[in-house]
Structure 1
Amino acid sequence: MASLEAQAAERVIQACVRTESVRKCVFTSSLLACVWRQNHPHERRGPTIVDENCWSDESFCRNNKLWFALGKTAAEKAAWRAARGRDLKLVTVCPALVTGPGFRRRNSTASIAYLKGSGVMLADGVLATANVATVAEAHVRVYEAMGDNTAGGRYICYDHVIRRAEEFAELERQLGIPSRTAATQSVDDDDRPARFELCKRKLGRLMSSRRRCTYDDYYCPVTFQ
């Protein structure tokens, strides 16, 4: 399955390259392409930052049967390889689990696949959600910023980090998926801090700057000499 996703991503980029009117592409990846790595001993005093520079370990995903994460990682890497050296500007957005009114129960299969390993993600501090409106806005803002070359590379996108088992139980209820709360219940009994901390600073800076530009363009008063 991961190889099929990689092939599909590569063909999308190739199609963009062949189309003369297309010179910018915003590729939707996943936060799961950033968070799954080998469990090395955690000796740092603070959490390890997970940002757009981090990649999931494909071997780790394969060995732990994290097929959804493996597919997303392989697909994004294939897209970057296909775009390298071509006359196409590529940017990727890596959203967390997408939620939102009217969206939750329509995509339960992908949600269940995303949440495999949820107990580990919850304990590590990398289980997060992103409202579908936020994800859509991120794509628009990134695409707009590509026009003046102020956007590039990867962007992590999320709204909320789930930190407690009861939050996860509520998410399951909203998604209408079978409960996995038992697998995450022990997290609340563990006082150890999370090993990782998600960081979306890069996207935050971009979106705040684009919002300011939009406000200035449409709402600032015009003065005449």
Structure 2
Amino acid sequence: MGVVCNWESKVAEVEAFRRKTMSAAGIQRRKEDEGQRRNNLFGYDDEEDEGNKLICVTSGVSYLGHALVNQLLLRGYSVRIIVDNQEDIEKVKEMEMSGEMKRRRKSNIEVIMVKLSDNVQCLEKAFEGCSALFHTSSFIDPVGLSGYTKSMAEIEVRVSENVIEACTRTPSIKKCVFTSSLSACIWQDIAQSNLNHVINHSSWSNESLCIDNKLWYALGKMRAEKSAWRIANEKGLKLTTICPALIIGPQFCHRNPTPTIAYLKEYSLIRSEIN
């Protein structure tokens, strides 16, 4: 007989995990120094005025997107946020009014509404003038808890192809940082693989395994990242991909209840497969 955990226990579990991760990493940050750091995120010279650099962020109202936008603003970058509906535009306005988005004196925020699944020409226009792009937009549901379907996986791939293709056609875009997922790497045939195998740049989830087990999220992320690398290599775009296992931070549970539980469910599934 299984034990049903209530919502409060799940929140406590995520919070405990967050605290343990933060302490293990030895992260110490002084708020008053936050806006003074000048990290060269994109390799610009220190003498250059970063406030004149415009960075594009897709889905800037998501948990990851919002955190990223804030860090860019605090470092003096101007940010163009890409959203796909009017509701997200209102969210950006609310964040600005509430002070959730903090900026330095020369930093600016622009918001453009365009669907990433639209034709590439629309995205080219949206990206024009930006020197780099962070692609953070995706459906977040590792194990189908809220209905991540095969069709969503197909949309994920199409969006990835559109975004990277648009970057290669936009002269001002020099670099792209693409958010993938560890799910794109870890779903492999355990019976035929070494359990001590280290996940690295050559690791990809097994496509047949994902399809047979209806792991549409993993399938979508894997195909999307592969498509991104294919286009970037063909067109000469400087691309970096990150494959986070779990994105977490202050207020994550309250802002993202569905993906939080979905991630916990996925980890339970992985443990049961290994054991």
> Which of the pair has the greater relative contact order for Cα pairs under 8 Å at 6+ separation?
1
